Amino acid sequence: MNSGLRKAHKYSWLLLFIIIPLIMFFSMKHIALFESTKKADIEHSFSRVNPDRDFENDLIKVAFYPKNIEIILKTTLKNASSTVYTVDENNKKRKIIGQLTTAGIYFFDLNDIPKNIIIYDDIKEVLITKTNF
Amino acid sequence: MGLDYQLVLWNKHKKTYDKIVAISMLLYIVLFAVITVVFNSETSIETLVIRAFGSLAIVMLHIILAIGPLSRLNSKFLPILYNRRHLGVSMFIAALIHGGFSIFQFHALGDVNPFYSLFTSNMDYNSLTNFPFQVLGFFALLILFTMASTSHDFFLKNLSAIIWKRLHMLVYLAYTLIIAHVFLGAFQQETSPFTIGFLFIGFVVISSLHIVTAFKEGKIDRVKAEKDTEGWLKVCEINEIEEERAKIFTVNNERIAVFKYKGKLSAVHNVCKHQGGPLGEGKIIDGCITCPWHGYQYLPHNGQSPPPFTEKVATYQLKLMESIVYINPNALEEGTEVEPVII
């Protein structure tokens, strides 16, 4: 290599030494690194008190308010797709209200609060979990 | 050295090396599949293929990026550098299988063009957790394709070593895109400290190797030489140069290799015409300076490749006074004959 190429390599790596850790930091910022390994230990509480109804199982906590639903996903799901649907009395899918990705708290505004919701994997076509009222 | 552009320049060592690479890749895939089946039996075969080949490509990319600085720091790694191109093409094949299966699995099963789907199915560029990471992987794959398809000596010869080398420096951009692809994609779903730690440590190791090497090389470039009364520069004591080897000397940021062989001294420009390899780190084989990177050869007294090859490097005049070697810093035309200094 000549001097110019050596310098080009050097400055490229000095630049990458700054850029790549930034990418890593910002992409990990919202990820709870160890959350998926200790799902049973995590205590979650709703952001507001006195929901109209609430539900909890191993995967989710759900609070129904007059105009929205709060879903706390306790652990990141292994499913590539996890879509939240409202369901009718016969547990038939009615309307998509959103998508869950990583563990965390999700709010969905709705005009018409359903009796139950389900979380469904549309790729594998399997039910992941549901509320039971 | 290639006069005719054969598809691949095979030799015994290259074949052995390629077998090792192929067997290692196969072992990795089998091991990955076994571990996945044992610990995550719900994984579908398509997902297994995508993950196995994606992770294999990343591991190989780290090895490829480490070879350059390692061989600058320790000449024992030079044989791997000699074979790096085949490893690069193999890595591209692994990445292509990963990308191809991903596009098929996630974008080809609908009723729109899979590439249109790739760019339009997720436009959430403002989100970090739901970023369209597949687009980053696609651009990285395009860069790797460009590099793999121009890796042959035909392109090296026709693009010139400098342009070819700059083109292949795009691997750093591909590496950045791949890191972003993985961190904004797979790691948003699979937050395993092990895999995240692997990529982070991998980055620290690779970048440290490159930066340490860059500063070491920069130090060599900044060395100032003593001048004699005629403007010739003092290189070293004659006994500092090993037989059949060279002393590398820097003049105005350009490196010169001063070779000692069969009781003679000759000096040539240190940069090989093939891929810019350091001639002074090679040795004299069959009377020719032999580049340590890919074996290109030059005659020490005129800097010309032996016929029928046509590569030429600049030569320099030397003189020997009381066991001290001096060099005229003005380069002669490439391929100019210079009478070797007799020791």
pLDDT digits (tens, 9 = 90+) for B282-333: 889 989 999 887 788 999 999 999 988 888 999 999 999 888 999 998 999 9
A127: distance to nearest CA of chain B, Å?
15
In A, which residues are within 8 Å of B207 by CB distance? 13, 16-17, 20
ipTM confidence = 0.79
Does residue A41 register a pLDDT over 60? no
Q: What is the CATH number of domain A52-130?
A: 2.60.40
The H or E element spanning position B206 is helix B193-221
Say what the pLDDT of residue B151 is.
Answer: 82
State how far the alpha carbon of B32 is from the alpha carbons of A78, B21, B38, B79, in Å. Answer: 18, 16, 10, 28
Give the three-class secondary structure for B31: helix
* Smallest CA–CA distance from B162 into chain A, residue: A5
Say what the pLDDT of residue B312 is.
Answer: 92
Chain Cα centroid distance, residue B270: 18
Q: For chain B, which residues make up each domain, given as ranges?
A: 12-220, 233-342
Q: For chain A, which residues make up each domain, given as ranges?
A: 52-130
**Per residue, what are the HEC states of chain A?**
CCHHHHHHHHHHHHHHHHHHHHHHHHHHCCCCCCHHHCHHHCCCCCCCCCCCEEEECCCEEEEECCCEEEEEECCCCCCCCCEEEEECCCCCEEEEEEECCCCEEEEEECCCCCCEEEEEECCCCEEEEECCC
Tokens 């105009």 belong to residue: A67
Say what the pLDDT of residue A87 is.
Answer: 86
Say what the pLDDT of residue B9 is.
Answer: 53
Joined tokens for residue A49: 């008190």
Q: Which of A30, A78, A80 is the closest to B129 by Cβ?
A: A30
Does residue B193 or residue B180 have the better pLDDT? B180
Going by C-alpha positions, the residue among B141, B101, B106 that lies closest to residue B120 is B106
Range of weakest confidence among B109-113, B203-207, B250-254: B109-113
Say what the pLDDT of residue B269 is.
Answer: 94
Does residue A42 register a pLDDT over 60? no
Is the CB of residue B102 less than 8 Å from the CB of residue B132? Answer: no
Superfamily of domain B233-342: Rieske [2Fe-2S] iron-sulphur domain (2.102.10.10)
Interchain CB contact of B216 with A (< 8 Å): no
pLDDT band at A39 (very low <50, low <70, confident <90, very high): very low
Find all residues with CB under 8 Å of B42, minimum gap 6, and list them. A78
A52: distance to nearest CA of chain B, Å?
30
Is the CB of residue A24 less than 8 Å from the CB of residue A41? Answer: no
Tokens 């024992």 belong to residue: B76
DSSP B134: H
Q: Distance between CA atoms of A85 and A98, rounded to whole angstroms?
A: 7
* Smallest CA–CA distance from A19 into chain B, residue: B176
* Residue pLDDT, tens place only, B212-254: 999 988 887 777 777 777 889 998 999 999 999 999 888 877 8
Q: Which of A17, A32, A78 is the closest to B211 by Cβ?
A: A17
Q: How many CB pairs under 8 A join A and B?
A: 105
Q: Distance between CA atoms of B180 and A27, rounded to whole angstroms?
A: 8
Does residue A121 or residue B340 have the better pLDDT? B340
Q: Distance between CA atoms of B23 and B20, rounded to whole angstroms?
A: 5
